[in-house]
A and B are shown apart, each in its own frame.
Chain A
Amino acid sequence: MGESSKRPQLRTWELIYSGTWPKQYAEKLRQRNAKETAPYKDVFTSFSSLYNTLEQYRGKIKKLDYENLRRQEDIKSIISDPGKKLTESDKNFLALQQENIQLIRQHETTQREMLRMAMKVKDVASKETQIIALEGKCFRLEQENGVLRDEFTTLQLMCKKLEEDNKNLMMENQHMVEKILLHKKEEVDVINMHNETMKKLKEHQMFYELESARKEDTSPDQSLSHLYMTQGSQLDNISLPRSRLGGSNSSAGAAVRGGLFSRLFRKSESESDDHESRHSSVSSRCRLYSGPAIIPGNVANKVEQHTSELYSLAFSYQGTMFATGGADKCIKLWRSSNLPNVDSIATLTGCNAGVMSIDIDERDQFVVGGSNDSAVRMWQVSGGQIRSTFMGHDNKIYSVKFYSHSQKIVSGSHDRTLRLWDVRTSKNVRTIFARSSCHDLAVLSEQGTDIVSGHFDKRLRFWDERQDTSSFEMLLDGRITSLDLSGCGKFLACSCKDASTIKFIDLKLRQAIATFTADGLRMGEHTRCSFSPDGQYIACGSTDGSIFLWNTRTLKREEVPKMHSSAVPVVKWHPMGQSFISLEKSKKFYVWTDV
């Protein structure tokens, strides 16, 4: 190590570097190069460059060979394909070349543009982030907008619909108003026409009656009793406001006599039955007058005017007329002043189905009918027009009755309800749900505090019009087809179909005091039994055409000859008790007299 630490003197380095060596060696090396390199340099470099170019060409040739091969393959494939492709491809080639040139030009311009774009890209990048943020906001707003729009459209739709509805309703309304006006006009016309015709009819009638009165004056050889009868009836008519008799002296005198007769009769009746007359003050249902009732023994008149089955019959209070109704959808009014002869007064039309029940008001002004078409209708006797229609029931109406001095009507229907109607306003005052189909009604008091209904479920129900529930119920033997109140209002006759019995019910005791039945008594669906006006007898028709009659005092059956050939649904005494009417199902009714 000692040797390496020795520093050579500066001289030594000078010796090394400043010697002749560099020049010598440089010269020698140059000589060497001149000998070894220089002569070959040109040749070898040219060789090298030639070699390189050769290699390049070789590479190119190879490439071209390959391309050529590919082209040849292409050509082969083209040739193997339909020949037209070649020309097509040639054309294509030219087109493509031109396109290529264009594309190159375009490329140049696009390159220039690209530079400019590159500048812009920076700006765009910064803007893009802004855009993204805004897009987010936009998206949220759009969603909100969408929701709002949906709401708006639904609201619009609703609005439109409502508007349309409104329009329709307005139109309908207008239509209705027009219709109503039209109807009213028609109604007025009809009423006018009707009134006119009625006026003419009345004049005709008057003329006729005057004529007949003149004839009567000239033939005085008629029996006295007969005169009494007819004149008595006429007297009643005179007492009513609707008098139709002008006065000839003789007939007026007869009328006075008739009135005396009746008053006498009345007095003796009230003396004989004190209780009954007292009761009558309570219920006007009770006939003011009733002579001793006959037992029907002889058919004095057969009337066949209806065109279909008969269902119902009702006398007026004074017995001056009666009404019949049936499946021929009309009610016929008959004058009963000279029974057994009857003349038709009017035919009340307007029902759309059979008439099941009829009632005539106290003052003989109105007839009410309950029909199978679920409507209750009220006609005016004078003129015969419909006065009111009471709509509300859902099913056949089996029974209608005036009460409260003909101010109100009660109806019982197959729809298991009772309905109370106000005559003046023609409105349904009350509906009572009776739980069973109601076949008949009886009004015990004019105030409507005691209404009895007979039902399909074998029960009698007692109602107060002010209450919804029945105050009392009575279970009978069978389906109740009819009720009839005795003239004094104390008793009720009640026909039960299944057992074919008639119950004689004391209303005060509210129990049956007798049950009438008989062999051969067969009741139909709407068989109606009836009290005689004096309460002495109860009568009932049978489906075989016979009529059964019982004495309520002796509780014995009275014989009535069988005259009908088919079912007898309704029988009734004239309020005077002197005649008896039975309806036969086959379109006719018989007027009976005593034997």
Chain B
Amino acid sequence: MANDREVLREVWDGRLPIKFSIAEEDRELLLMEKDPYYILVPRMTYLPLLPVKKHFESAIPVTDSSDNQPTELWFSYQDVPLKWQIPIGVLYDLVGGDTLPWEIKLRISDFPADKLARLGTTIEETVRSSFIHNVKEAGYMKHRGAVMMHLLPDQHTQLWRGLHRDKFDDFWKINHRLMEHIDNAPYRCVPFRIYTGIHDRYIQKFFKPMTEDEKLTTLGQLLKQFKPEAVVELEETDDPDIIKSYEVAEGWKVKIHGIETPMNTPIQWLSEHLSHADNFLYIVVVKISS
């Protein structure tokens, strides 16, 4: 039962300072010069939901000069196109580096269709359906969709609105139910995604929060199973309940919500407290570049 509100609150309150500006290469397409836009952004939200477009709207031509299509906006950081499906916090953990504020460039031309999904014209609706889809997927993994099936369309909307409008209480009113344990049992599987790079395929597999002999599984075990090169097994275990303990291998970094997580955290607890708004636990595993 997710009842540690302090953690939830801290997770929710995670903000990133971001500086949005038009990319150098697109500057000549602008109708007028625009100052960069600084904004403190929740880690849980998605890029297209930010009021960036509104700021730059007056400067952006309505149609693309080359193919006469409506201008498509996309974001990049150091020439890396940023996927809008991934929460901003995860994006930052993946590619952000250490400098803050995070300087994201706004692109209005050369849309990298091979790397990014198109948003279409109804941006919010697209993001919303992607989000709800993820929630459903996670629900299915956790309790075969038992809770999700009983939610009314209104409650879906409430969940989404809670995220979109940064309303913690509204969001958790619904999300609380999604995090329930059915019959006092842990989740069937823990919905997680391991990101190793922004354009690498994420790892999403079935992983039980408890072993058959009723031992809790940990993050370390999870990584051992799906990303074995990132962890190393420790020989001694000081906890009798945990089968084996691991630690992050040298040259690797494992981040959830921007923090380096202890490897022997039970995965059930992590899922309940550190999942993103779409109920997935995003685990960023990156190599530290020397």
Contacts and interface: CB of A to CB of B under 8 A. Distances in A.
Contact of B185 (A7, A22, A39): A7
A211 to B, nearest CB: 157
Contacts of B186: 8, 12
B104 to A, nearest CB: 14
B15 A25 contact: no
A21 interface: yes
Interface stretch (B66-74, B128-136, B209-217): B209-217
Interface stretch (B107-115, B154-162, B267-275): B267-275
A131 B261 CA distance: 81
Nearest to B143: A4
A105 interface: no
A41 B15 contact: yes
A19 interface: yes
B7 to A, nearest CB: 5
A45 B260 CA distance: 27
Contact of A36 (B15, B188, B261): B15
A19 B11 contact: no
Given A16-B266, A40-B100, A44-B40, A25 B16 contact: no
Contacts of A25: 7, 10, 259, 261, 265, 273-274
A15 B266 contact: yes
Contact of A48 (B10, B39, B188, B260): B39
A21 B38 contact: no
Nearest to B41: A44
Nearest to A45: B40
Contacts of A37: 13-17, 40
A3 B208 contact: yes
Interface in A416-444: none
Interface stretch (A26-34, A381-389, A531-539, A575-583): A26-34
A7 B265 CA distance: 20
B15 A22 contact: no
B28 interface: no
Interface in B1-36: 1, 3-4, 6-7, 10-11, 13-17
A40 to B, nearest CB: 4
Given A3-B212, A25-B7, A41 B185 contact: no
Contact of B269 (A19, A28, A32, A40): A19
Most-contacted residue by chain B among A7, A9, A16, A48 (CB, 10 A): A16
A7 B39 contact: no
Contact of B7 (A22, A31, A47): A22
B98 to A, nearest CB: 9
A156 B193 CA distance: 108
Given A16-B266, A21-B265, A25-B7, A36 B16 contact: yes
Given A16-B266, A17-B4, A24-B262, A32 B257 contact: yes
B228 interface: no
B236 interface: no
Most-contacted residue by chain A among B6, B40, B214 (CB, 10 A): B40
Interface size class of A (residues with CB under 8 A): 20 to 34
Contact of A33 (B4, B15, B261): B15
B185 A44 contact: no
Contact of A8 (B185, B258, B261): B185
A6 interface: yes
Interface string A115-131: 00000000000000000
Given A4-B188, A36-B16, A16 B259 contact: no
Contacts of B216: 12, 15-16
The interface residues of chain A, by DSSP majority, are classed as helix
Most-contacted residue by chain B among A19, A31, A40, A43 (CB, 10 A): A40
Given A8-B186, A28-B259, A44-B39, A21 B10 contact: no
Given A33-B14, A45-B40, A4 B265 contact: no
A39 to B, nearest CB: 8
B241 interface: yes
B257 A40 contact: no
Contacts of B212: 3, 6
A31 B258 CA distance: 10
Contacts of A12: 186, 210, 214, 216, 241
B259 A32 contact: yes
A20 to B, nearest CB: 9
Nearest to B3: A17
Interface in B28-69: 37-40
Contacts of B269: 16-17, 19, 21
B184 interface: yes
B194 to A, nearest CB: 19
A8 B214 contact: yes
A165 B1 CA distance: 116
A337 B193 CA distance: 178
B10 A29 contact: yes
Given A15-B216, A17-B269, A29 B184 contact: no
Most-contacted residue by chain B among A29, A30, A32 (CB, 10 A): A29
B259 A44 contact: no
Contact of B258 (A3, A21, A26, A36): A36
Interface of B: 1, 3-4, 6-7, 10-11, 13-17, 37-40, 100-101, 183-186, 188, 208, 210, 212, 214, 216, 241, 257-262, 265-266, 268-269, 273-274
Name the 5 nearest CB pairs between A and B, nearest first. A40-B17, A29-B10, A44-B40, A28-B259, A37-B15
Given A15-B241, A30-B10, A41-B17, 4 more contacts: A3-B212, A32-B259, A36-B17, A41-B15
30 contacts: A3-B208, A3-B212, A4-B188, A7-B183, A8-B186, A8-B210, A8-B214, A9-B214, A12-B186, A12-B216, A15-B241, A15-B266, A19-B269, A21-B262, A22-B7, A22-B273, A26-B7, A26-B10, A28-B259, A32-B259, A36-B15, A36-B17, A37-B14, A37-B15, A37-B17, A43-B38, A44-B38, A44-B40, A47-B38, A48-B39
